[in-house]
Amino acid sequence: MKPFIQKLTLNENTSFVAKTFKTPNFEVGWHQHIEYELILFTQGSGLSFVGNHVGEFETGDIYFLGSNLPHTFQKRDPELITSAMVVQFREDFWGTEILNIPESRYIKKLLLTSLSGLKITGDSRQLLFPLISNLETAIGFQRILILGQCLEIIATSKEYVEISTLDVKQMNNKDKECIDRIFQFTIDSFKESISLSQVADIASMSIPAFCNYFKKSTKKTYINFLNEIRIGYACTSLVETKKTVLDICFDSGYNTMANFHKQFLKIKKTTPLQYRLWYFRHINN
């Protein structure tokens, strides 16, 4: 199963989409679209999957994703209300020549960089929050000016982290569909016991062939990818719930506390309890 192609419709008075999506309309599986996407999370938290990146999102986070970069944002808990302001636009929504003029050079470079998926950091988040929020109600040419201002802030401040190293353009369709199938299975099943033989069967390969194929395609081993998802889920549970570390260990797909602590320390460079304490000290300062 490859990621489905998402298409958000435009009305006759708009050239790009700017709309808030809230549970249950927030829930979208592994997907891609030709449009670039600027997304501001206004409520909720969970896991972010962008290309071969696995991380966590929370309220106030902003991402800028390039054209056809596969992604999904999964809320931490099925009962959690989550919402995001989503802006989608095509490269040529403002015409075919504007990106070729000298004044647009840095915007054109930003669009190219966004193919790696960008998570906005620093003071730019505070600058972008009201602008992105206002796009939903702005009308006429004001919409173009606000979106242009958003892109200028991101391009000139360079306050972002490139989060994915997956070069989807270099994959042929067969390889891409195989990786997408594995990604979706893992996203859906990470809380359960998963063996290499299971995912190798999904890829129709032997275990050694699958392991080599996955690492070559994603620049990480499958076991590392699975652990990133499980530890990312554990992080959101640590800061969003009052569950014990032991309960979170088992909820995240681990069978022993020893392995959970080992993987958490490897990925986050701290222990689960220290992570929880650090987070609450951080948000209270």
The DSSP symbol for 204 reads T
Q: Same domain, yes or no, for 142 and 69?
A: yes
Domain edge (last residue) among 117, 144, 162: 162
Choosing from 113, 133, 162, the residue where a domain stops is: 162
Do 19 and 117 lie in one domain? The reply is: yes
Task: Report the predicted TM-score, pTM, of the whole model to 2 decimal places.
Answer: 0.85
What gap in Å lies between CA 155 and CA 111, rounded to an integer? Answer: 9
136: three-class secondary structure by DSSP? coil
Residue 10 pLDDT grade (very low, low, confident, very high; cuts 50, 70, 90): low
Q: Are 249 and 234 in contact (CB under 8 A)?
A: yes
Which amino acid appears at position 73 of this protein?
A: F
**Co-location of 90 and 197 in the same domain:** no
Starting from the edge strand earliest in sequence, which strands make up the sheet with 160-162, in order?
17-22, 83-89, 36-43, 62-65, 118-120, 160-162
Asked if residue 147 and residue 61 are part of one domain, the reply reads yes
Residues 179 and 156 in one domain: no
Residue 154 and residue 16 in one domain? yes
Residues 121 and 180 in one domain: no
pLDDT tens digit string along 118-153? 999 999 999 999 999 999 999 999 999 999 999 999
Closest CA to 147 of 157, 136, 156: 136
Co-location of 15 and 145 in the same domain: yes
Listed in sequence order, the residues at least 6 apart from 266 whose beta carbon sits closer than 8 Å to its beta carbon are: 227
Q: Are 255 and 130 found together in one domain? A: no
Domain that holds residue 130: 4-162
Q: Are residues 158 and 177 in the same domain?
A: no
- pLDDT score, position 171: 61
**17 and 107 share one domain:** yes
Which of 162, 184, 209 terminates a domain? The answer is 162
* Residue 4 pLDDT exceeds 60: no
| Helices and strands, counts by H and E, the chain | 10, 11
How far is the CA of 1 from the CAs of 20, 64, 83, 166, 227, in angstroms?
Answer: 28, 25, 26, 18, 22
The CATH number given to whatever domain includes residue 139 is 2.60.120.280
Residues facing residue 41 across a β-bridge: 84
Q: How many domains does the chain fold into? A: 2
- Interval 152-193: pLDDT, tens: 999 999 999 999 988 766 666 677 788 889 999 999 999 999
* Average pLDDT over the chain, rounded to an integer: 91
What is residue 180's predicted lDDT score, i.e. its pLDDT? Answer: 87
Strand-by-strand arrangement of the 71-75 sheet: 4-5, 31-32, 71-75, 45-50, 53-58
One domain, residues 53 and 94: yes
What pLDDT was estimated at residue 80?
87
Length in residues, the chain: 285
Residue 230: give its domain's CATH number: 1.10.10.60
